[in-house]
Structure 1
Amino acid sequence: MYLTQGLHRAVQQQPDEVMTICGDRRRTFAEVADRVSRFAGALRELGVGESDRVAILAQNSDRYIEYLLAVPWAGAVLNPANTRWSPTEIAYSLIDSDSRVLLVDDAFAETLPVLRELSPCLTTVIHIGDGPAPVDALSYEDLIAAAQPVPDVRRGGAELAGLFYTGGTTGVPKGVMLSHDNLGTSWLGGRASGSLVAQGGRTLHVAPLFHIACLTSWGATLMAGGSHVILPSFDPVTTMTAVQAQQVTDVLLVPTMIQLLVDHPRVAEYDLTSLRSLLYGASPIHKAVLERAMAALPGARFVQAYGMTELAPIATLLTPADHERGLLHSAGRAAPHAEVRIVDPGGVEVQRGTVGEIAVRGGHVMLGYWGKAEETSQALRDGWMHTGDGGYLDGEGYLYIVDRIKDMIVSGGENVYSVEVENALSQHPAVAQCAVIGVPDAKWGERVHAVVVLRSGASVTADELREQAKKFIAGYKAPRSVEFVDTLPISGAGKVLKRVLRATHWGSVDRQVS
């Protein structure tokens, strides 16, 4: 299996069908294939060899999709940079991966002087924006116009396809090595479930393409011969406008995006009935938000995917039928390509209903972490990827996520899982968003602490929220303290950065558990 396989098949079967829609630009499969082969030729002329890493720092665009195809076409390795990172963090990923070529668009052109200074490995910058190319940067369109097309090397299988750096929510970023087979297995497994994108549909890419979840939506659509509608970034109004104007059938949204969309005051003004499938994942979603989304988009089939970058990324799927059964707290069952089990600290499988660490096995499991043998051996043991997530399986094999294991709060000797508390608090009509963490407490060791964002114009007291939580969970799990903030810190992947929230409470304490 190789990443460009879907493009070759589409050119053979539907060359004149529209493949990409980005602003006013529409390109057919045949046109995209020609541009991809030419850009691959340009990369070769620039000295990019087999297995060399080629990075990109850009918002979503049709040129970003061409990059995803041209780099493997040339036999090189993808390295999509996180657009939410600081220049120092981006430079770290460039240096760590020894990426010598970087594609950059207009939104990030201003960062080039700093990146060049911080990244001595960087020798070539290619501008993929619509404006003039920055000084010392090559024009993407000029390269394509001048280059000769080259044959696809069709490098695939177990060969390295890309380095995908983790979001940094748990420490120093690690380059996750994913092969062509890793990615293709996850895409095909998702499609085999019948829950991902439909054949010949039209998928909207509004989540960042550097993120493995959006890349999966792209890959599954490519294999299904579908079209790609691309927006630079997420905004509720532009997203709804694109769905209506382009008759989008499939979309991937992270939970924070879903909430912003369905709670938008103008949501009723748009015709969103073309949506057939809404895939969500990347972070937990609260039941109250999901119920509002299902009510606002009654024609869409909801699918939840649980996984991680190291799993390319799908491990389990909660299908539309599962949603109709009301299993909204579950992350679903093992996808067709995956095997899932719950293990104790020694790696031994535990009984059903017992909380432990989620371990996953299959052809989608990463090759390892780039240049980090010790971390790789800790994560990959006996063929199983140990996720660091805590959960349990019920009698039917449905997975329930209770927390990141590191996020478990031990208060007065009792284990408290933050997702339970967050779900309870989110039921209150005044709560827009919330995150629960453990903070140091002289009496209890740790206490349950809630950080809450209120809806516009709403008000509620800490005591009222505590009583709200007690309606749904045991009293000892209810937050003993509440902090009201305007916004929560969010990573580029749409996850709440709990380490940032913890830092304000733990200060110089050596460890963030008691």
Structure 2
Amino acid sequence: MNLTNTLHRCLQQTPDKIVTIFRGRRRRYDEFCNRVARLAGALQASGMKTDERVGVLALNSDRYLETCMAVWWGGGVLNPVNIRWSVAEVVYSLDDCDTGILFIDDQFLHMAAGIAKTARRPPVFIYTGEREAPDGMLSYETLIAGHAPVEDARRGYEDLAMIMYTGGTTGFPKGVIQSHRNIWAGCIQRIAETPPIKGGKTLHAAPLFHMAALSRAINQFIAGETHVIIPAFNAREVLDTIEREGITELGLVPTMIQALIDHPDFGTRDLSSVKRLVYGASPIIASVLERTMDLFPGVEFYQSYGLTEAMVVTTNPPESHAEAGRRSGRSLSVGRGLYGTELKIVDEKNDEVPRGIVGEIVICGPSVTRGYWNKPKESADALRNGWLHTGDGAYMDKDGYIFIVDRMKDMIVTGGENVYSAEVENAIGRHPAVMMCAVIGIPSDAWGEAVHAIVVTKGDAQVTEEEIRQHCHQLIAGYKCPKSVEFRPEMPLSGAGKILKRDLRAPYWEGQAKKVN
């Protein structure tokens, strides 16, 4: 159970196979492994000791994957930095886990001076861009060329592999501790449920600092298949890349799926190579899922549910997305627990609730983190009696399928009734003028909390607040319908493409002593 043994297998069995494709640059497994071993030696020479934390602040690239493997090959610990953070947030994560080396690319060079000035321990910067390294930074390619390959440290099992900071959509980031065993087990569990496509090419468009994307990359290394990488999600570049490279598998979050199918070029492209579409990381509006399945006939659809603290823990397979699954509503489930993972739905007393009753998802399994870095109280709150408390509200049907209704913190209590935002968002999302929506609770003297909707419309589509309310009244109970509707040109999104409800709520709850009313 160490993350670099995948490379040894590929080097032995398929050394000539292409491992990474990045904007025309192709590397074979033998070349990739040699570069990883050389970069590991360069990191050791630059101060990386066993368990030393190494950060990466960069867009997706072949070098990002080389860096991850080189850190583990050399015995270090990876700290993938959120690319949407400010300098202060980046410095917080570096300081919190004492990161001494930071890989940085052209996109984030403007932040380097601020990081160096304010970090408790100014990091050694390694420039991963395509130009000459700026003054005071080490050059990625020069380091590889100037160092001999070193032996794999073969760290594994309970050795620390990664500290990945939560996206902070509901609070301040916490450093999630992941061992080699945690990550390896989570990947193998996922492979057991979703076997890799033989000869497949996976497109990495979602950000690799995020657990969902990075674990998919590790799965592809385990399978010995090919990674195709673009720097960041861009609908046109995704379409171009699918056509040019013959992509077989896509992994996207719902906001990306919507942007892809809404792109004006979508209907003109040859997307016949796509065999599988995996989606997750946030809830998907039913109307978007149905439309996507219609536009990708014959493609396997998988939904995955996971979190930084436990990687992927459920999967909803293609049969749930077939006609019978769509009629039954099971296509909107996040699926059942993976092999080796236990899930329960519990109440506030930690007692398991009956099927069909909403409670909190708790998880037990080999991929579950052992806690948060330097945060014993938060670790104790999340991990109780061997179970990870996710904070996600859901119910389980009679066959063990999980249906997520909301973050427990996001549940709206209006007039004494519980309202789950996902149900309201699905109703609003069925209006033909709506491209994207989010539902939050805001303070109300009359109701305690009122259901408030934020809507982004499609192009020049016109719709009024009253029309949205009337549309919802046809689909859900009156008390669930939004009392108010706000129209915006765009949503605040995290680096992983999730809607930041924390930012949407902030203006309404400013000055309140508590975030419930």
The Cα shift of 1:24 comes to 2.2
- Show structure 1 runs of 5+ residues with no match: none
Q: Normalising by structure 2, what TM-score?
A: 0.98
1:319 to 317, 333, 337: 317
1:470 to 470, 473, 488: 473
- Paired residue for 2:263? 264
- Once the two structures are superposed, the pairs formed by residues 215-234 of structure 1 within 5 Å of their partners are 215-234=214-233
1:419 to 418, 422, 427: 422
Aligned length: 512
The 3-state SS of whatever aligns with 1:51 is: coil
Determine the C-alpha separation between the residues in 2 that align with 1:6 and 1:294: 33
The 3-state SS of whatever aligns with 1:78 is: strand
- In the alignment, is residue 508 of structure 1 matched against residue 511 of structure 2? yes
The answer to whether the Cα contact below 8 Å between 1:357 and 1:389 also exists between their aligned partners in 2 is: yes
Q: 1:133 to 1:12 in 2, by over 3 A?
A: same
- In the alignment, is residue 431 of structure 1 matched against residue 458 of structure 2? no
State, as a whole percentage, how many aligned pairs show the same letter: 49
410-419 vs 198-207, which moves further: 198-207
The answer to whether the Cα contact below 8 Å between 1:51 and 1:160 also exists between their aligned partners in 2 is: yes
- Paired residue for 2:43? 43
- Show structure 2 runs of 5+ residues with no match: none
- In the alignment, is residue 459 of structure 1 matched against residue 457 of structure 2? no
What residue identity is the alignment partner of 2:351? V
Determine the C-alpha separation between the residues in 1 that align with 2:474 and 2:215: 38
The Cα shift of 1:197 comes to 3.2
- In the alignment, is residue 330 of structure 1 matched against residue 328 of structure 2? no
The answer to whether the Cα contact below 8 Å between 2:358 and 2:393 also exists between their aligned partners in 1 is: yes
The Cα shift of 1:463 comes to 1.2
The Cα shift of 1:307 comes to 1.2
The answer to whether the Cα contact below 8 Å between 1:102 and 1:122 also exists between their aligned partners in 2 is: no
- In the alignment, is residue 352 of structure 1 matched against residue 350 of structure 2? no
What residue identity is the alignment partner of 1:512? K
- Paired residue for 1:484? 487
Q: What whole-Å deviation, never above 9, does each CA across 1:357-376 have from its counterpart, x for those lacking one?
A: 10011000002100101100
Determine the C-alpha separation between the residues in 2 that align with 1:442 and 1:287: 33
- Paired residue for 2:108? 108
Q: Normalising by structure 1, what TM-score?
A: 0.98
- Paired residue for 1:202? 201
* Alignment root-mean-square deviation, CA: 0.9
What residue identity is the alignment partner of 1:44? Q
Determine the C-alpha separation between the residues in 1 that align with 2:286 and 2:274: 21
- Paired residue for 2:174? 174
Determine the C-alpha separation between the residues in 1 that align with 2:479 and 2:143: 63
- Paired residue for 2:299? 300
Q: 1:178 to 1:2 in 2, by over 3 A?
A: same
The 3-state SS of whatever aligns with 2:331 is: coil
The answer to whether the Cα contact below 8 Å between 1:197 and 1:250 also exists between their aligned partners in 2 is: no
Determine the C-alpha separation between the residues in 1 that align with 2:196 and 2:112: 37
The answer to whether the Cα contact below 8 Å between 2:212 and 2:281 also exists between their aligned partners in 1 is: yes
- In the alignment, is residue 24 of structure 1 matched against residue 27 of structure 2? no
- Paired residue for 1:402? 405
The 3-state SS of whatever aligns with 1:317 is: strand
- Paired residue for 1:280? 279
Determine the C-alpha separation between the residues in 2 that align with 1:292 and 1:461: 24
The Cα shift of 1:480 comes to 0.8
- Paired residue for 1:126? 126
What residue identity is the alignment partner of 1:269? T
The Cα shift of 1:296 comes to 1.4
The Cα shift of 1:417 comes to 0.3
What residue identity is the alignment partner of 1:371? N
- Paired residue for 1:387? 390
What residue identity is the alignment partner of 2:406? D
The Cα shift of 1:122 comes to 2.4
Determine the C-alpha separation between the residues in 2 that align with 1:122 and 1:252: 35
Q: What whole-Å deviation, never above 9, does each CA across 1:51-106 have from its counterpart, x for those lacking one?
A: 00000100001100001100010010000100000111001000101001000011
Determine the C-alpha separation between the residues in 2 that align with 1:12 and 1:287: 45
The 3-state SS of whatever aligns with 2:309 is: helix
What residue identity is the alignment partner of 1:254? V
What residue identity is the alignment partner of 2:364? R
- Paired residue for 1:309? 308
Deviation beyond 4 Å, 4+ runs, structure 1: none
The answer to whether the Cα contact below 8 Å between 1:200 and 1:224 also exists between their aligned partners in 2 is: no
Q: What whole-Å deviation, never above 9, does each CA across 1:222-272 have from its counterpart, x for those lacking one?
A: 111110001001110100100110001111101000000011111011111
The answer to whether the Cα contact below 8 Å between 2:54 and 2:101 also exists between their aligned partners in 1 is: yes
